[in-house]
Structures are given as C-alpha cells and as structure tokens.
Amino acid sequence: MTYCVTPGCLTPQNSDSDLYCLSCGSKLLLRQRYRALSPIGIGGFGRTFLTVDEDIPGKPSCVIKQFCFPSNGGLILNKAGQLFRKEAERLEQLGEHPQIPKLLAYFEQNKQLYLVQELIEGQNLEQELQQIGLFGEKQIWQLLKDLLPVLKYIHDRQVIHRDIKPANIIHRRSDGKPVLIDFGVAKLLSTTALHHTGTTVGTAEYMASEQIKGKAFPASDLYSLGVSCIHLLTGIAPREMFDIIHNRWAWRHHLPGSIVVSDRLGCILDKLLQNTISERYQSVPEVLEAVNFKPTVAQPVIPKTSTKALASAAKIDYSELRDLLARKKWQEADNKTCDLLCQAIGRRPGYYLQTADIKNLPCEDLLIIDQLWRKFSAGRFGFTVQKQIYQEVEGDYPSFCDRVGWSLHNSSTIKSEFKLKLRLPFTQTPEMPVGHFPSRQWAGGYYWWRHAGTLAAKLEQCSIGH
C-alpha cells in the first residue's frame, strides 16, 4: 500500500502501483523516490511516516517527518525554510553519533518541508513499560550510563533535545543500546521562526518550568531525563506524581513494593528533578560524575579507646549491652541496642525510628554502640561494618540485605537459615553473616528501608568508621 501524505487528503490509501493519489490527485512519490507506507506519528506541527526508498535496489525502510504549514503562509514558509535548512544541517552532524538516527535527506515539496531519517528498529521505552513492566534500579543505572554520553554529545554541539521522554528513546533491537529520536530542534522550526521566540516545544508533563515558559537549557534536558526515570520506575503518569501543594515531586510514594530504589540513585534523581534550575545538575558531566562515583571503602578498624572513656551525650548506661555482647548473647544484645537507640533520642522502648530520628542520633552514642559490637564480635558486627557493606554494593538495598542476611520486606524477620546459628554456644565465633547485627528492628516509618543509607550518612557526618 502507498499512503498519500498530502494534508487533508480524505482517502490516503492507494495501491503500490499508483503514481498519483486516487483521492486528491497528488504525486505519491516524494522527491521521485520515497514512498510512504503508513503514518507512525502525528504531532501539532507535523506527521511521521514509515517509508521505503525506491531509488535503492534493496528498497530500505526509513522514516519521513513532514512539517505542515497553511497553504497561504508563503512568508511563514520562507522563514521556516531558512531555519529548517540550518537545523537540518545540525541534525546531519548529530547523526554521526551511533545512538542518534542518521539524517538521510531534507527537502521541500508542495510547500511542505520533509526530513528523511534512518529507521531505528526496536521498542521505545514507553512500549517496554507497557508490555514488559516496571524498570528496576539496575535498568535505570544502565539507562543513565548509556544515554548521558549521548546528551553530552548533543549539548557539546549547542543542541538541546527539548522532548526527552520514554516514547522518544528506542532500545535498538540489534544491540540493545538506547537511541534518542524525535529531536526538538526539528520541531522548533515550526514555532520559533514563525511568530515569536519563547514558544513551548516538548511534552508538558516531562518539561522543566523554564522550558514551559519558553526557555530551554541543557539542564532542561536533564530534568526531562529525571522525569522519564521516575515514570519508568513507577509506571505512573508524571502529572500524578507531582505534589502541587508543596511544589515538589512525590515519586517515592508511588513506588510499588517490588521496586526498591537506593538512596544513592534517589539522590541523583532528586537533583535531576529540582524545580529551581540553579539547584539542578547544570551539565551532563556533573551527572556522569555522580553516576560513576565509586566510594572508597576502608576496612573497619576497632578503636583502641576504652568504652569507659567515652562520654554519652544522652548519659546512657551501656554496661548491660557490654555484658550481653561479652557473653555473645547476640539476639538479646540486639534487642537492647534497639532500646538504647530509642533512649538516645528521648523515646520509650519499642518506638520505631524515622529518618529524621536517625539524623538526630547523638554521635557519641552511635560511636559507643558501634565500638561495643565490633569489639566483642571481632569486627564482624556493628554500624560501621554495615556502612562498609552498603557502600560496597553501591547503595543497592536488595544486595545489602542479601549480604547481611536480612529478609527484604520484613524488618523484624531473620532468615530461616540463620535462626539455628543464634542457638550456638556463646563461646563459639558468631556464624551469622558479617554485618547482620545490629538488626533493623528499630527502623520504621513509610521509608523504613531507607534507614541503611540514612545511617551511613549519619556515621559519615559523625566521622565514625573513617
């Protein structure tokens, strides 16, 4: 079938042998070589068609983008044509990158402007989300590592995409690499050059506030990338995740139980999503530095300082915890630790510490508890041991739980294969996984699983474990 691309044609379907449209009489071959097969996209200022190149023996498939203008808009077409040629040349240069479709041709025909681009075979990320399901943390890390260099490439050439969203990122079937399609610079010729500067280009729910007002910067693309990531993690439309009352993104509230996002990735996404452009990442290299950062982890060293010489800011008596640990009563010592943490912030035993509570724990008390656990377990247990493991797995909470022998979804459950080990004679070396104690039974709140990252940050602030 041959599809007539003339705007307003009432019956665009024609046979392969037709040279002229049976409905409107227009020529069906564009530039005497490109035959449209079917529409694959419609936007406010143009349409996209699946096409074959009749001029090449193999008749390879390609994509044609048509930009439509009013029939009486001669002056408009002239202005748009000037910008069109300039932007087409820029797209041709960008097409040298393997993750950007190549520009094959650009031309004017019947007062319409056309771009011919390489066809990228594969599913876009929106299609993958609908057909396969939510993206996990590892997939988001990989997406950032694969796509950020592409953004750096275009930004280095003074190009801003302006319309980054899952539907404009295709996982190429041949190698699995994400390919960035549908550049906003091409759309821009239909708006900016026609009437006034500052016309919005892009998809509203993925756009930064400055772009909605008509100004786009490299940081605007980074914002759209962040919105795309949280959409892939939650499957929720971006407009439903923005808290208008508090003017912030509340994407964590929409994460299903099966998806756990580490504090490290969460912090990167939060900075990508800052509404104020000055608080956002300003350039791709800044994001890449955060994504590729590998924390250096030192082996925990048991301090020589006596616990008797350490003063507790909350004037807490640690003798009972010391005695339980000295007798290798790990479970009882763990329960006591929970009570002591509550006492350190002025709460009764049994209280579940929230993220804000962890941040307010006195450094001296954390140090004493950590010292005691490490001393009597020969360096196997303690907060700083957990901090080291958390950093080694790069903040991946499921991996952290697996390393320390915790169940992923229940903060008070001990994995069955470790329960018997608690019954060993207290004179034996502890057999529980390194970092298993203190457990997280004291952590609570909606984001209880974030305690590991919050506690690691608190230890860093207190210079514990350096």
Q: Is 118 exposed, middle or buried (0-12, 13-18, 19+ CB in 10 A)?
A: middle
CA 362 to chain centre: 34
| 51: β partners | 36, 62
Which pLDDT does position 427 carry in this prediction?
39
90, two tokens:
């820029």
Q: And the tokens for 346?
A: 């002025």
Give the C-alpha distances (Å, rounded to integers) separating 218 from 188, 207, 211, 215. 16, 12, 11, 11
Output the pLDDT for position 185: 44
Q: 224: how many CB neighbours lie within 10 A of its CB?
A: 29
Q: Where are the alpha helices (DSSP H) in 345-362?
A: 355-359
The structure tokens listed for 316 are 């807490």
| Joined tokens for residue 380 | 């196997």
Q: How many other CB atoms are found less than 10 A from the CB of residue 149?
A: 13
Q: Where are the alpha helices (DSSP H) in 252-362?
A: 263-272, 284-292, 319-326, 330-344, 355-359
Known catalytic residues are 163
By DSSP bridging, strand 34-42 and strand 29-30 are antiparallel
- CATH 3.30.200.20 residue ranges of the chain are 2-118
Q: How many CB atoms lie within 10 A of CB 289?
A: 11
Query: Digits of tens for pLDDT over the chain (466 positions)?
Result: 899 999 889 999 999 989 999 999 999 999 999 999 999 887 656 789 999 999 999 999 999 988 776 554 555 566 666 767 776 777 787 878 999 999 899 888 887 889 899 999 999 999 999 999 999 999 999 999 999 999 999 999 888 888 999 999 999 999 999 999 987 544 544 444 444 444 455 688 999 999 988 898 999 999 999 999 999 999 999 999 998 888 889 998 898 878 888 878 988 999 999 999 999 999 999 999 999 987 554 444 444 444 444 445 557 888 899 889 988 899 999 999 999 999 988 888 888 888 888 988 988 889 999 999 988 888 889 999 999 998 888 888 888 888 888 887 644 444 444 444 444 443 344 468 889 999 988 887 656 678 888 898 889 888 887 6
Q: Are 348 and 452 in contact (CB under 8 A)?
A: no
3-class DSSP state for residue 330? helix
The rounded distance, in Å, linking the Cα atoms of 131 and 366 is: 47
Q: Which alpha helices (DSSP H) does 237-283 contain, by range?
A: 238-241, 263-272
pLDDT of residue 312: 57
Q: Which tokens hold the place of 234?
A: 């939650």
φ/ψ of 358, rounded to 5, equals -60, -40
**Model pLDDT, residue 207:** 93
Q: Tell me how far apart the alpha carbons of residues 179 and 168 are, in angstroms, rounded to a whole number.
A: 8
Q: Which residues pair with 170 in a beta bridge?
A: 124, 179
Q: How many residues would you count in the chain?
A: 466
At 42, which helix (H) or strand (E)?
strand 34-42
Q: Position of tokens 């240069």? A: 93
Instruction: Please state, in angstroms and rounded to a whole number, the distance separating the CA atoms of residues 300 and 288.
Output: 29
Of 307, 323, 330, nearest in space to 435 by CA? 330
Whether the CB-CB separation of 358 and 460 falls below 8 Å is answered with no
The reported pLDDT for the residue numbered 306 is 46
Which three-class secondary structure state does DSSP give residue 20?
strand
Domain 122-292: assigned CATH number:
1.10.510.10
CA 307, CA 325: separation in Å to the nearest integer? Answer: 13
**d(Cα 394, Cα 295) in Å, to the nearest integer?**
8
Domain with CATH 1.10.510.10 in the chain: 122-292
- Cα gap 328→402, rounded to integer Å: 23
Q: Which CATH superfamily is domain 2-118 in?
A: Phosphorylase Kinase; domain 1 (3.30.200.20)
Cross-strand pairs, 3: 13
